[in-house]
Amino acid sequence: MNNPTSVSGKKILVAVTGSIAAVKTPILVSRLIKAGAEVKCVITQSAAKLVSPLSLSTLSRNKCYQDRDQWQDYQTKPLHIALAEWADLVLVTPMSATSLSKFINGNAEGLLASTLLAAESQIVVAAAMNTSMWSNQAVKNNWKNLKEIDQVITLEPSEGLLACDRIGDGKMISLDVIELAAESAFIFRAQNKFLTKDLKNIRFLVSAGPTVEDLDGARQLTNRSSGRMGILIAQAAKLRGAEVDLVHGPISVSRELLEGLNTYSVRNSIEMREKIEHLKSFAQVIVMAAAVSDFKKKIPTKKKISKELFLNSIFDDIELTPDLIKDLTGRKLENQIFLGFAAESGSDMEIKEKGEKKRISKGCDLLMANPIDRDGQGFDKNFNSGFLLGPKKMAKNLPLSTKLSISHQLLDEIQDFKT
Residues known to be catalytic: 164
Q: Is 315 marked as binding a ligand?
A: no
d(CA 48, CA 34) in angstroms, rounded, equals 24
CA 15, distance to chain mean position in Å, is 22
Calpha distance 225→210 (Å, rounded)? 5
Residue 351 marked in a binding site: no
Residue type at 330? G
The CA distances from residue 295 to 303, 320, 355, 373, in Å, are 19, 5, 20, 21
Nearest residue to 364 via CA among 258, 287, 295, 300: 287
The Cα 164–Cα 19 span in angstroms is 12
Q: For the chain, what is the radius of gyration of the CA atoms?
A: 24
> How far is the C-alpha of 152 from the C-alpha of 264, rounded, in Å?
29
Q: Is 317 annotated as a binding residue?
A: no
DSSP 86: H
**Main-chain phi, psi angles of 119, to 5 degrees:** -65, 135
Is residue 325 annotated as involved in ligand binding?
A: yes
SS3 state of residue 56: helix
Residue 34 annotated as binding site: no
Count of beta carbons in the 10 Å neighbourhood of residue 386? 27
The answer to whether the annotation marks 362 as part of a ligand binding site is yes
Count CA within 13 A, CB hemisphere, residue 374.
Answer: 18
Q: Quick one: which of 249, 254, 261, 229 has its CA closest to 293?
A: 249
Per the CB < 8 A criterion, the answer to whether 109 and 101 are in contact is no
Residue 373 marked ligand-binding: no
How far is it, in rounded angstroms, from Cα 116 to Cα 132? 26
Q: Cα 78 vs. chain centroid, distance in angstroms?
A: 36
Neighbours of 152 (CB within 10 A): 23
Q: At what angle do helices 97-104 and 137-147 cross, to 10 degrees?
A: 50
Phi and psi torsions of 228, nearest 5°: -60, -45
Instruction: Characterize the bridge pairing of strands 158-161 and 167-171.
Output: antiparallel
Q: Using the 8-state DSSP alphabet, how is residue 349 labeled? A: H
Contact residues for 233 (Cβ-Cβ < 8 A; gap 6+): 206, 208, 287, 289, 407, 410, 411
**Binding-site sequence positions for CTP:** 294, 303, 322-325, 341, 358, 362
Enumerate the known binding-site residues.
294, 303, 322-325, 341, 358, 362
